[in-house]
Amino acid sequence: MKLKNQFLRKLLRITKLYIIDIRTELSLYRWLGGKKYIDYYKFDVAIFNENKKPKSPKVLIYNKNLPALGGGEKHMALFCKYFELYNSEAIIHILVEDSRSICVFDPKYPTIQDINKQFNIDLSKTSIIKRKAINQDFLTKFSFNYDIFINSTIDSRLIGFAKRNFYNCMFPPKKEDNDDLLNQLFKKSYLCFISNSDFTNQWLHRYWGYEIQSQCIYPPVFTEHEIFSRIKKPKKNIILSVGRFFFGAHSKRQDIMIDFWNNNHNEFIGWELHLVGNRQINKEDKKYIEDIILKASKGCNIFLHFDMPIGDLHKLYESAKIYWHATGFGVDVDVNPEKMEHFGITTVEAMSYGIIPIVINKGGQCEIVDHGINGYKWDTLNEWIEYNRIVIDNYELQQKISNEAINKSYNYSVENFYTNCDRIFSEKIL
């Protein structure tokens, strides 16, 4: 039995070195009798590095949606920064491919400098690797030479082939229909699934089973020093919402917020509604943005800020009193959980500035906001308007909840994120 195990290990290593495509992998799966191959897939990393910590660990992070430069990309960037700080000799690569909106070789495609500027971060040892398209065959061969691979692309089913593979789970993909072999390989290839919220983690296990290894690590927002050092400036009568302008998926539903504002304009006399976000440029999203602009033109005191510079956004955060979020409105969470806000990084950003969140009671928002303590969560339009009335009409309550919102935001600090990363990316791995 011992000799057979050694043979299987050696065969697996040779196969992974010279594999042609994922179907070859599946053929080997069948030849070895199914489950045994899956078990040996997660072989001991000592086969490759003899338990020695490499001087220059190589880290590969796959992100297909980099041009969005949204919350998921900020999360990815801080993973990169963590590895830069953890090991000064680490080599970190971000692997990208063409998106539906832009080619990776387009001059406007985001650079490391753009990432640094957008998220107020300093990535100095990270570089971007560009490919027109990335499929399983390419990744099999490409990621094999890395110590760590992190799949940081939502809804991706790519299988990891580095020495250690992690899945940054912003929301889990569903299983492939009628392809149990591929599903098993995907699940077993990752040492740990890192969920961005308990909501995401719940659906991860519902889709893929409760036997997989997972950890919930909330995405970081600001450093504790950044939050603490902010000077609380006088607030203005501004309601703010921040999120990309796009149609479908987990749309931020700016259309619903504008409709709600226009239908209840008498409740907001003397107030302004500011909607901030980057624009997507495919046809569906362009039509959605055109509709948003038309709706806003029919109302009063509605301000749309497309592709706003980060410095100007922080000024709005400093000035606003109330924060709105409506992702998942009109959607059954049990039918389409992927259309919820999976975490809500901009809600935390707003809270760190003392803005009072009044958000939909769905998805990751439920974990961020403690109702009546540091914000409000609504289930119906009537509740939404009622909670706005409560806040608008009570200055003392505004101050109390604002301070509690700031206190809660410390839970999502960069320091806490790095501490949680240490639990997973231990020295045995790096």
Residue, of 378 and 11, whose pLDDT is higher: 378
pLDDT score recorded for residue 87: 86
Q: Which amino acid is at 114?
A: D
β-pairing, 126-131 with 214-216? unpaired
pLDDT score recorded for residue 425: 84
Residues 250, 253, 254, 257: is their CA dihedral positive or negative?
A: negative
pLDDT-derived band at 429, boundaries 50, 70, 90: low
The reply to whether 209 falls in a domain is: yes
Least Cα distance to 200 among 157, 176, 170 occurs for: 170
Task: Based on the fold, state whether residues 146 and 82 are members of the same structural domain.
Answer: yes
Kindly tell me if the per-residue pLDDT of 1 is higher than 60: no
pLDDT score recorded for residue 193: 96
Task: Based on the fold, state whether residues 79 and 186 are members of the same structural domain.
Answer: yes
Residue 4: burial class (beta carbons within 10 Å; 0-12, 13-18, 19+): exposed
pLDDT score recorded for residue 104: 93
Task: Based on the fold, state whether residues 96 and 243 are members of the same structural domain.
Answer: no
H-type alpha helices, 126-178: 136-142
pLDDT score recorded for residue 430: 52
pLDDT score recorded for residue 255: 95
Which DSSP string corresponds to 170-181?
Answer: SSPPPPPTT-HH
Least Cα distance to 250 among 168, 337, 321 occurs for: 337
Task: Based on the fold, state whether residues 6 and 79 are members of the same structural domain.
Answer: no
Average pLDDT over residues 149-175: 92
- How would you classify residue 344: left for phi > 0, otherwise alpha for psi between -120 and 50, otherwise beta? left
Q: Whole domain around residue 26: which residue ranges?
A: 1-43
pLDDT score recorded for residue 203: 95
The reply to whether 377 falls in a domain is: yes
Please give the structure tokens belonging to residue 50. Answer: 């003899």
pLDDT score recorded for residue 55: 61
Q: Is 212 helix (H, G, I), strand (E, B) or coil?
A: coil
pLDDT score recorded for residue 367: 96
Which DSSP string corresponds to 89-127?
Answer: T-EEEEEEE--SS--TTSTTS--HHHHHHHHT---SSEE
Task: Based on the fold, state whether residues 241 and 377 are members of the same structural domain.
Answer: yes
Query: Contact, 218 vs 417, CB < 8 A?
Result: yes
Least Cα distance to 60 among 196, 151, 179 occurs for: 151
pLDDT score recorded for residue 68: 86
- pLDDT single digits (tens) 31-45: 444 444 444 444 333
The reply to whether 429 falls in a domain is: no
Task: Based on the fold, state whether residues 276 and 166 are members of the same structural domain.
Answer: no
Task: Based on the fold, state whether residues 420 and 375 are members of the same structural domain.
Answer: no
How many structural domains are present in the chain?
3
The reply to whether 7 falls in a domain is: yes
The reply to whether 198 falls in a domain is: yes
Kindly tell me if the per-residue pLDDT of 307 is higher than 80: yes
Instruction: In whole angstroms, give the CA distance from residue 187 to residue 66.
Output: 24
Task: Based on the fold, state whether residues 204 and 302 are members of the same structural domain.
Answer: no
- pLDDT single digits (tens) 195-227: 999 999 999 999 999 888 999 999 998 999 999
Neighbours of 105 (CB within 10 A): 9
Residue, of 68 and 319, whose pLDDT is higher: 319
pLDDT-derived band at 284, boundaries 50, 70, 90: confident
Task: Based on the fold, state whether residues 56 and 127 are members of the same structural domain.
Answer: yes
pTM above 0.75, yes or no: yes
pLDDT score recorded for residue 111: 97
Task: Based on the fold, state whether residues 156 and 175 are members of the same structural domain.
Answer: yes
Query: Contact, 166 vs 185, CB < 8 A?
Result: no
β-pairing, 148-151 with 126-131? unpaired
φ/ψ (deg, to 5) at 170: -80, -30
The reply to whether 372 falls in a domain is: yes
Query: Contact, 126 vs 94, CB < 8 A?
Result: yes
Hey, what long-range contacts does 198-206 have (CB within 8 A, 24 or more apart)? 198/364, 198/367, 199/337, 199/340, 199/342, 199/343, 199/363, 199/364, 199/366, 199/367, 200/169, 200/170, 200/171, 200/172, 200/342, 200/343, 200/364, 201/169, 203/171, 203/172, 203/337, 204/169, 204/172
Q: Is 85 helix (H, G, I), strand (E, B) or coil?
A: helix
pLDDT score recorded for residue 135: 80
- In 219-346 the beta strands, taken as DSSP E runs, fall at 238-242, 272-277, 302-306, 322-325
- pLDDT single digits (tens) 236-278: 999 999 999 988 778 899 999 999 999 999 999 999 999 999 8
pLDDT score recorded for residue 282: 76
- pLDDT single digits (tens) 80-110: 999 999 888 999 999 999 887 789 999 999 9
Kindly tell me if the per-residue pLDDT of 20 is higher than 80: no
H-type alpha helices, 280-344: 283-297, 310-319
β-pairing, 272-277 with 238-242? parallel
Give the domain CATH number at 150: 3.40.50
Task: Based on the fold, state whether residues 382 and 246 are members of the same structural domain.
Answer: yes
Question: What are the distances in angstroms from CA 219 to CA 71, 106, 207, 367?
Answer: 8, 29, 22, 13
pLDDT score recorded for residue 120: 87
pLDDT score recorded for residue 9: 47
The reply to whether 54 falls in a domain is: yes
Task: Based on the fold, state whether residues 261 and 277 are members of the same structural domain.
Answer: yes
The reply to whether 430 falls in a domain is: no
End-to-end CA distance of the chain: 33
pLDDT-derived band at 115, boundaries 50, 70, 90: very high
Give the domain CATH number at 355: 3.40.50.2000
- pLDDT single digits (tens) 40-63: 444 333 333 334 444 688 999 999
CA 179 to chain centre: 27
pLDDT score recorded for residue 303: 97
β-pairing, 148-151 with 164-169? parallel
Average pLDDT over residues 344-366: 96
pLDDT-derived band at 25, boundaries 50, 70, 90: low
Percent of the chain with pLDDT over 90: 63
